[in-house]
Structure 1
C-alpha cells in the first residue's frame, strides 16, 4: 500500500510503499479517507513530542477518518505502530474508533477532531467546567484556540475571555473580551487584572512561556481570595518552560494541571472527540481546510496557515469550510 513514511528525525515524510497492516485479535482494519495534519502528527514524526517512540521508519499521522470492512464510517485514533493514519489502510484497536454522525463529511470530521478534542477534554475531564463559570483561553488565535472559545461556550461557560498576539484575528474569535498579548508583560498583566478580579474560574493555556507566567502571577494578585482557579496547560507554542515565583502558588488557590496524552486516558480522549463530532453542528464548529492528495505530503508537510487534510484517494480532494 501507499503511505506517508517518516524515515528518520528531521526529515520530511516521503510518499512510498509500506507493508500492509494485518489485524490481530481485538483490532480492525480502517480504509483511510482523510487524515488532518496536526502539530501532534508533526511532533511525533520529528521525534520531538513526548509520546514519540523513537523507532523509525513508521507511517505518520495519529488520527483520521475511514471505513471498516463492513462499510461503516468511523473516526480512529492512534493506530498500532508502525502504522499511522496517513496511508491507504491502517490498523486500530477496538475502543480507539467510533462511528461518525451521518451529517458530518469525512474531511470535516478529520479536521475538527484533534484540535476540538484538546479543549473538550481539558474542560470536561481536567477542569470539570461548571455551567456559568468564566473561562480564559490563552492563545485563542490558533486553530485549537479558536475552537476552544466556541466549545467553552457550548459546554456552559457564561463568559469567555481570549488572548492572542494577532489582534486582527483576536477580534473575530467570538469571545466576550479580548486581551492582546503584546510585548510588555507588565501591560499584559495590567490588562488581565480587572477580569481576574471579577473572577476567572478556568484558564486553558495553549502557549505556556511568558504569557502563561503573566497570567499565573496576575491571578495570584488579583483573583478573589480562596477562588480555586484551575489552570489547564494544553500546548506550548510560546515556550516549554516557565520560571514561576513560589509565592504565586502559596498566596493563592491556583490549581495547575495538564491535559493531553497521559494526563487523559486514550478512552477519555476518544470520548472527548465523540463529544466534539456529535456537537459540531449545534456548536457551529468551523475550520477552513484544504484537502490535498496524500502523494503531496513532502511538499505540504511544513506549510503554515490553512489546515491541511490528506486524502489517499485524489478523486475526493476538495477545499471547504464546515459551518
Structure 2
C-alpha cells in the first residue's frame, strides 16, 4: 500500500510504499477515507509525544474515517500498537470504532473529532460537570480551544470565558458561545490579572496552554475567588506554552484546587470510545462548527510544513 512514512524524527513523512498491515484478533483492514493532521499526530511523528517509544519507521495518524469491507463507514481510533492511519489502508478495532451517521462528511469528522474529543471527554468523564456551571478555556484560539468553547456551552455552561493570544480569532468566539473574552497577548502579569478579574469564580478550567500562562493564572484566579472553598477543577489537556510549571504550595492550602489531566492513560480507551457516538451525532447535525481542508495523501510532505489558515485543520485523503 502507499502511506506517509516517517523514517527520521527530523524530517516530515514521505509518501512511499509500505507493507500492508495484517489484521490480528478482531481487527479489520479498512480503506482509509480521511485522517486528520492533528498536533497529536505531529508530536508522534517527531518523537516528542509522551507515548513515543522512539521506534522507526512509523506511519503517523491516530484516528481516521474508514470504509469497511461491507461498505459501512466508521470513525475509529487506532490501536496503540498498530500502524498509524495515514495510509491507503489501516487496521480498525471494532472496540475503538463508531459507525458514521448517514450524510456525515468524513473529512469534517476526521478534522473535528480529535480536537473536540479533548474537551468533550474532559467535561463528561474527568469531572462531574453540571449545566449551569461556568468554564474558562485557556488557549481558546487554537482549534481544540475553539471546539471547547462550543462544547462547554452545548453541555450547559452558564458562562464561558475564552482566553487566547490571537486577537482576530478571539473576537469570533462570541458567536460560538463565549460570554467573556480575555486576551493573553502583551505583558504576562497583566494578562494573568485580566484572567483573575474575568474568571476568578469559574468552576472548571480547560487548559491547553500550561507553561507560563498557567503558572501565573492559577494564583491570579485563586486569590480573587469569592469563596476559596468552592471547588475549582483545573483540567490540563495541552501544553502549547510549555511542559512545566512551578506551583507555590500555598495555593493548594488556601483554596479548593483540583488539578488533573485528561488524555491517554488518565482515561481508558473504552471510556473514551463510549463518548464518541454522541459527539459524532452533534458533528453530523452541524451543532458544532469545524473547518477542514482536504489534501491528497500523496502531498503529505508538502502539507506537513505548509502554512494553514487559522481555525482550519488539514485532513489527508488517501482516495483523493
Q: Distance in 1 between matches of 2:80 and 2:257?
A: 38
1:304 Cα offset (Å): 3.7
| CA shift digits 1:207-266 (9 cap, x unpaired) | 011111122111220121211100000000011111111111111101000001111111
Q: Distance in 1 between matches of 2:313 and 2:123?
A: 24
3-state DSSP class of the match of 1:149?
A: helix
Contact 1:112 1:277 in 2 (8 A): no
The alignment's TM-score, normalised by the length of structure 2, stands at 0.94
Contact 1:120 1:275 in 2 (8 A): no
Q: How does 1:1-323 map to 2 (within 5 A)?
A: 1-79=1-79, 81-174=81-174, 175-197=178-200, 199-223=201-225, 224-282=227-285, 284-305=287-308, 306-314=312-320
Summarize the Cα distance change of 1:206–1:80 in structure 2 as closer, same or farther, 3 Å threshold. Answer: closer
Summarize the Cα distance change of 1:208–1:43 in structure 2 as closer, same or farther, 3 Å threshold. Answer: same
Summarize the Cα distance change of 1:82–1:277 in structure 2 as closer, same or farther, 3 Å threshold. Answer: closer
1:79 Cα offset (Å): 3.9
1:104 Cα offset (Å): 1.2
Q: Distance in 2 between matches of 1:152 and 1:281?
A: 18
| CA shift digits 1:1-54 (9 cap, x unpaired) | 111011121121011111112211221112100001001111111111011121
Residue aligning to 1:320? none
Instruction: Count the aligned residue pairs.
Output: 313
More moved, 142-151 vs 258-267: 258-267
3-state DSSP class of the match of 1:113?
A: helix
3-state DSSP class of the match of 2:247?
A: coil
1:301 Cα offset (Å): 0.8
| CA shift digits 1:93-123 (9 cap, x unpaired) | 2301110111311101101110000110111
3-state DSSP class of the match of 1:59?
A: coil
Contact 1:31 1:67 in 2 (8 A): yes
The alignment's TM-score, normalised by the length of structure 1, stands at 0.93
More moved, 245-254 vs 227-236: 245-254
The unaligned stretches of length 5 or more in structure 1 are 315-323
Q: Distance in 2 between matches of 1:255 and 1:303?
A: 39
Summarize the Cα distance change of 1:243–1:162 in structure 2 as closer, same or farther, 3 Å threshold. Answer: same
Contact 1:35 1:86 in 2 (8 A): yes
3-state DSSP class of the match of 2:305?
A: coil
1:282 Cα offset (Å): 5.0
3-state DSSP class of the match of 1:301?
A: helix
3-state DSSP class of the match of 1:207?
A: coil
| CA shift digits 1:141-182 (9 cap, x unpaired) | 000000000001111111100001111210111210001012
Q: Distance in 2 between matches of 1:78 and 1:226?
A: 41
